[in-house]
Structure 1
């Protein structure tokens, strides 16, 4: 299995593993004016970014879709998230339309703690949403807000997974870290919760949660890359090596990239996974098979 050094080698990477392509559960598509504001925030190295962060794939929407397809990403998401009340229902409407015209994009939805949340989340579920996004850092909300109880209950009942940015990277938020999620899981233990970024930088704590809660999964978004290792290295030295637990949880780790909002090429995310040296079976599961099973992708 060749380790890809640039995007031209991505196809060889998954073909050498015997895969039909990649499944990426953490890619961003959103209304253009919203994305423009997100990019402006990254360009300014805003407080929630905390460092210089160039956008590697600053392309028009159709070009971004074409890029993922050229890389062999056979299914991806439109992770989008509100930062204030009154946004989520509109974002969900946009995401439903995007999924309808982009068949390889999994219908994605989101929510915010507000009185209308239960109603528009139910509408999104009834409309075919297959995955949700919850961003505790940007949204600056407690996942245990009472207004979200019916939302979490519905998602637990339906088994629809929620990708949740709950770790304290790149900078901590008021409600990030493992403790709010532990409380949430104590009340909704059947949730299928995908911890974004492997819970960076609280890797060990979120691995503990996954061990204790069968419905908890983790995505690899930006983890293990040179960019993230500079400030939030994954524990893999003599004092503490968590790589064995990556193997033990190998059926609950999913490929995520943060495309297009990454400061390196897509191939580097795969290179970072390959150099963990956890074996081809692990890579096959993480880069494709786990998500195929979880999301019933055909």
Structure 2
């Protein structure tokens, strides 16, 4: 069993992508039913929807960047369709620990088993955070029944990354394939941030149509961050761009949603945004390095 230890040389990378999906494990298994891949590939116009973790590592190594990688456990919502092996994700990240950091994932609807699995992933595998998607996993993060899990994550001391806003998953399908957008309202995470102030929470994506709410939450609570994945920067809400330049300059994190959006394409559009020169390195690398506790030599400072 592989145990992850980071060997990322922070001084040698130009950026750290906080949001990269591993959609295919070493057994050829995907964490969601095929219909979701077909719909999201059409929505994002992505060419290669399921690259291997080795190909992802090569992509970021060639670009002189690092990336947080993860899969998603939504077995309850998908009626027993099992997730990718978290152990495989960690093993792949361990093979490429100069450029990849693994996040774990558990199904919150699994109750006590989810807590035990989160503890295992942290202590035995060495994951560096946890990924959630309330709409895909079918849960309201502010519901008190999930508070024991958030308390456990706070005790573990690793950040959680949670989808917010519009969903590419299920987009264009009848009923959105049953996925409910309201679970991705960032105000639901505001409850969690208030009640678990020592739990770092990354709100994934510009939170359209709730961007003003997301800006307010990130400004109000020191344990809330925003990653910029899932949207080309040319489509970012103006309020997000404006506040990223000032009150949120230490709270905003570079992210692509690769393989849905290639990093080169995202960065080319980011170059055209009116972001201050002194803020760009904060967004692209420095904020993430601090949040993840990465030292100049590689592992936790």
Structure 1 residues 30, 147: CA separation in 2 closer, same or farther (over 3 Å shift)? Answer: farther
Residue-by-residue CA offset, 1:202-232 (whole Å, 9 max, x unaligned): 2111010011110100111033435xx2xxx
1:164 corresponds to which of 162, 165, 189: 162
| Residue aligning to 2:257 | 258
Farther-moved stretch of structure 1 (155-164 vs 53-62): 53-62
Structure 1 residues 38, 198: CA separation in 2 closer, same or farther (over 3 Å shift)? Answer: farther
Report if aligned partners of 1:82, 1:139 keep a CA contact under 8 Å in 2. Answer: yes
Report if aligned partners of 2:30, 2:84 keep a CA contact under 8 Å in 1. Answer: no
| Residue aligning to 2:69 | 78
Is 2:106 the counterpart of 1:114? no
Structure 1 residues 179, 60: CA separation in 2 closer, same or farther (over 3 Å shift)? Answer: closer
Q: Count matched residues.
A: 264
Structure 1 residues 270, 196: CA separation in 2 closer, same or farther (over 3 Å shift)? Answer: same
Structure 1 residues 37, 177: CA separation in 2 closer, same or farther (over 3 Å shift)? Answer: closer
Structure 1 residues 89, 57: CA separation in 2 closer, same or farther (over 3 Å shift)? Answer: closer
Partner-residue secondary structure (3-state), 1:198: coil
Report if aligned partners of 1:30, 1:78 keep a CA contact under 8 Å in 2. Answer: no
Spell out the pairing of 1:11-30 with structure 2 (5 A cutoff). 20-30=13-23
2:90 corresponds to which of 83, 89, 96: 96
Report if aligned partners of 2:186, 2:213 keep a CA contact under 8 Å in 1. Answer: yes
Partner-residue secondary structure (3-state), 2:260: coil
Separation of aligned partners in 2, 1:175 and 1:36: 20
**RMSD between aligned alpha carbons?**
2.7
Structure 1 residues 98, 261: CA separation in 2 closer, same or farther (over 3 Å shift)? Answer: same
Is 2:248 the counterpart of 1:249? yes
Structure 1 residues 68, 295: CA separation in 2 closer, same or farther (over 3 Å shift)? Answer: same
TM-score by length of 1: 0.78
Give the Å deviation of 1:84.
2.1
Is 2:263 the counterpart of 1:270? no
Give the Å deviation of 1:40.
5.4
Structure 1 residues 36, 140: CA separation in 2 closer, same or farther (over 3 Å shift)? Answer: closer
Is 2:100 the counterpart of 1:105? yes
| Residue aligning to 1:4 | none
| Residue aligning to 1:129 | 127
Report if aligned partners of 1:24, 1:76 keep a CA contact under 8 Å in 2. Answer: yes
